[in-house]
């Protein structure tokens, strides 16, 4: 058991307790996100002036005596697996992976093996463990989406990268082949998304109070007789956002068995092509790119001949 005592400065007086402690965690490199702090509060692992009967929104005072009690980190039961990985870049803080199509990013109930996480445990000595069941994972791609992922190798980097995803400052670009000829050269799709009311594993455009704001920019790169090659930039990161938005405007992504009906492509025609962000250590903007998969190139080359 480790215990930390937090003192409130003049500038911090009046802050929410969870915000104060998440900032303290960053300074001390404890690896606690704001959500983690809230969980500790609910488990009575944080006390103020000897009392653990507090709320995350409690406004701290300069005279408060705040204590955090942390247990030793839970060991994960995940097993390393020798699964080939294409590592595009690596330093002490992060790694850039070019994820192949068909590889699940992280384990889930009933599926503890053969995931990107298992491969990461084999390939890297150090990974962030803010979520012990998803070491290194800051964001994800669908199983059938290929392309660039950033992996965090320590908790400090993880929190800084996660913060950029949360405030939508990460620059992401995807390539997609969609059904039909796009009318516009470029446009923005703004349509809120929620879980489908009947098909609970699906998402859908939904204007109820249960939906969340979602925004996607697209540029038409090339038109064919029955298809279009697009560049997509999601401003938000909702589940299945790109797939739902393209299907909503009548141009589902080829190979999308969940939101489209087209079988003209042997896989989901969606590829995470570019990822740009502020490096957690250097503070400089960095950007990484992945070439289009050969399936995309072969398909567009064949479509050019028709």
Tens-place pLDDT, residues 51-97:
999 999 999 999 999 999 887 554 557 899 999 999 999 999 999 99
Q: Is residue 285 situated within a structural domain?
A: no
Which residue range is the domain that position 45 belongs to? 2-70
Same-domain check for residues 210 and 239: yes
Q: Is residue 282 situated within a structural domain?
A: no
CATH number of the domain that residue 241 is part of = 3.30.2350.10
Same-domain check for residues 260 and 239: yes
Quote the pLDDT of residue 291.
Answer: 95
Quote the pLDDT of residue 222.
Answer: 96
Q: Is residue 280 situated within a structural domain?
A: no
Q: Cβ of 83: how many Cβ atoms within 10 Å?
A: 17
What is the tally of structural domains in the chain?
3
Same-domain check for residues 108 and 128: yes
Same-domain check for residues 115 and 204: no
Using the 3D structure, point to which of 132, 166, 200 is the last residue of a domain: 166
Q: Is residue 259 situated within a structural domain?
A: yes
Q: Is residue 205 situated within a structural domain?
A: yes
Mean pLDDT by 10 residues, the chain (306 residues): 83 91 79 86 92 94 91 69 97 98 84 90 93 90 96 94 91 97 97 91 92 96 96 94 97 95 87 98 97 94 79
What's the CA gap between 99 and 105, in Å, rounded? 9
Same-domain check for residues 301 and 179: yes
Quote the pLDDT of residue 73.
Answer: 55
Q: Is residue 99 situated within a structural domain?
A: yes
Same-domain check for residues 56 and 95: no
Question: 3-state DSSP call for residue 277?
Answer: strand
Quote the pLDDT of residue 201.
Answer: 85
Same-domain check for residues 181 and 64: no
What's the CA gap between 134 and 99, in Å, rounded? 16
Quote the pLDDT of residue 24.
Answer: 86
Tell me if 188 sits within 8 A of 294, measured CB to CB: no
Using the 3D structure, point to which of 22, 40, 70 is the last residue of a domain: 70
Question: 3-state DSSP call for residue 18?
Answer: helix
Structure tokens at 260: 């489209």
Closest CA to 175 of 227, 132, 120, 250: 227
Q: Is residue 278 situated within a structural domain?
A: no
Same-domain check for residues 146 and 181: no
Tell me if 5 sits within 8 A of 28, measured CB to CB: no
Closest CA to 151 of 96, 105, 107, 100: 96
Using the 3D structure, point to which of 14, 36, 70 is the last residue of a domain: 70
Same-domain check for residues 120 and 49: no
**For the CA atoms of 95, 216, 213, 134, what is the dihedral angle to 10 degrees?**
-20
Quote the pLDDT of residue 269.
Answer: 97
Same-domain check for residues 231 and 300: yes
Q: Is residue 283 situated within a structural domain?
A: no
Bridge partners (DSSP) listed for residue 253:
178
Question: Looking at 18, 64, 142, 256, which residue is catalytic?
Answer: 142
Same-domain check for residues 198 and 301: yes
53 is catalytic: no
Q: E strands of 16-86, at which residues?
A: 46-48, 66-70
Cα 1 to its chain centre, rounded Å, is 31
Pairing type for strands 146-152 and 94-99 reads antiparallel
Same-domain check for residues 35 and 89: no
Structure tokens at 212: 């969340």
- Backbone phi and psi for residue 136, each to the nearest 5 degrees, phi listed first: 85, -15
């Amino acid at each position: 058991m480790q215990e930390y005592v937090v003192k409130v400065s003049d500038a911090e007086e009046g802050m929410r307790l969870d915000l104060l402690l998440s900032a303290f965690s960053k300074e001390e490199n404890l690896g606690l996100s704001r959500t983690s702090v809230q969980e500790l509060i609910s488990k009575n692992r944080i006390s103020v002036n000897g009392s653990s009967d507090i709320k995350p929104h409690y406004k701290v005072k300069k005279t408060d005596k705040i204590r955090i009690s942390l247990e030793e980190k839970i060991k994960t039961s995940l097993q390393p697996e020798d699964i080939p990985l294409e590592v595009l870049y690596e330093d002490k803080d992060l790694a850039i992976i070019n994820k192949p199509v068909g590889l699940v990013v992280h384990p889930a109930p009933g599926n503890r093996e053969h995931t990107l996480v298992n491969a990461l445990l084999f390939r890297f000595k150090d990974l962030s463990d803010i979520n012990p069941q998803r070491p290194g994972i800051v964001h994800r791609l669908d199983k059938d989406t290929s392309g660039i992922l950033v992996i965090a190798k320590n908790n400090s980097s993880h929190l800084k990268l996660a913060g950029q995803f949360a405030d939508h400052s990460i620059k992401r670009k995807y390539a997609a082949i969609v059904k039909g000829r796009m009318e516009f050269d470029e446009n923005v799709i703004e349509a809120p998304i929620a879980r489908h009311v009947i098909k609970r594993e699906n998402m859908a455009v939904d204007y109820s109070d249960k939906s969340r704001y979602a925004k996607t920019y697209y540029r038409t790169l090339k038109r064919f007789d029955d298809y279009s090659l697009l560049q997509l930039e999601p401003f938000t990161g909702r589940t299945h956002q790109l797939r739902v938005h393209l299907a909503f405007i009548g141009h589902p992504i080829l190979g999308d068995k969940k939101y489209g009906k087209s079988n003209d492509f042997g896989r989901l025609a969606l590829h995470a092509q570019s990822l740009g962000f502020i490096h957690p250590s250097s503070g400089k903007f960095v950007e990484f790119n992945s070439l289009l998969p050969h399936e995309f190139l072969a398909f567009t080359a064949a479509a050019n001949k028709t």
